[in-house]
Amino acid sequence: SQKIEQNSEALNIQEGKTATLTCNYTNYSPAYLQWYRQDPGRGPVFLLLIRENEKEKRKERLKVTFDTTLKQSLFHITASQPADSATYLCALDMRGGATNKLIFGTGTLLAVQP
Amino acid sequence: DTAVSQTPKYLVTQMGNDKSIKCEQNLGHDTMYWYKQDSKKFLKIMFSYNNKELIINETVPNRFSPKSPDKAHLNLHINSLELGDSAVYFCASSQTRGSDTQYFGPGTRLTVL
C-alpha cells in the first residue's frame, strides 16, 4: 500500500540545536518533494521544494535532502529558535499531465525550548 | 492584503443540513484546490479547478460539490452533512496547474453535531 510517514512523535529540542525531521514514503515515485510549515489555526505555508535529481537544497537555516533510492527526505533547521515551533508537513509532488497534486504526510510537531 | 481567503472561519451545523464554504484568491492564479484536514491533522486533496475546469476529483462522496464561478473563486457545497464531515477545510491556489507552490487559505473549521 502507499504510505507517507513522518516522525510519529513530537520532536522537542533546545534552542540553538539542529532539528532533523524525516519523511519516508513507500510505493510512490514523486518527481518532487515539498515541505510546508503549519501553525495552529492556520493554513500550511510553503518552505522548500526539491527535485528528484537534486540531492540537497538550502534556504537560509533550512536544508532539505531527497534520496529517491531510500525513498526518504530529511528536513533540517539549524540554529533552531522557539519561533520555529510548528507542525512541518512533507508533501509528495505527483505531477501527472502537468497537474500538481500534493500527497501530504501526517506532519511532525516541532517544539523548540528556550 | 489577504491572498487566499475563506468564509466562514467556523461553521457549526446539524447533521442532515446543507452548507457552503466560499474561497477567493486575489493572486491572479489559474488553479484552485480544496483540501480536508481531519482530526489527526492528515491533509488530503479533494478537488482542483484550473480556469473553472475540474481537473482533480478525488474519491469524495457526491454530497460534496465544488463550484467555480470564475477563476478567482472556488466554493464548496456540502449536502446532507454527516458527523464524519467534521474537519478543517482548506482552500489553496497556485499560479498554474503545474506550479511548484500552493498558497493556502486560513481554513474553515466545520463541526457537524
Where do the domains of chain B lie? 4-112
Inter-residue long-range contacts of A67-70, CB under 8 Å, 24+ positions, other chains counted: A68/A29, A70/A24
Q: What is the mean pLDDT of residues A48-55?
A: 91
Chain B nearest CA to A113, separation (Å): 23
| Cβ atoms of residues B91 and B29 within 8 Å | no
The DSSP 8-state label assigned to residue A18 in this structure reads P
* Class level of CATH domain B4-112: mainly beta
Q: Cβ contact (<8 Å) for A49 and B101?
A: yes
pLDDT at A96: 63
Taken in order of first residue, the domains within chain A and their CATH numbers are: 3-113 (2.60.40.10)
Residue A83 neighbours by CB distance under 10 Å? 8
Q: Chain B contact for A41, CB < 8 A?
A: yes
pLDDT at B60: 87
- Phi first, then psi, for residue B52 (nearest 5°) are 75, 5
Distance CA A75, CA A70 (A): 15
Average pLDDT for chain B: 93
pLDDT at B100: 78
The pLDDT tens digits for B46-88 are: 999 988 888 888 878 999 999 999 999 999 999 999 999 999 9
Residue A42: list chain B partners with CB under 8 A: 106-107
Q: Chain B contact for A96, CB < 8 A?
A: no
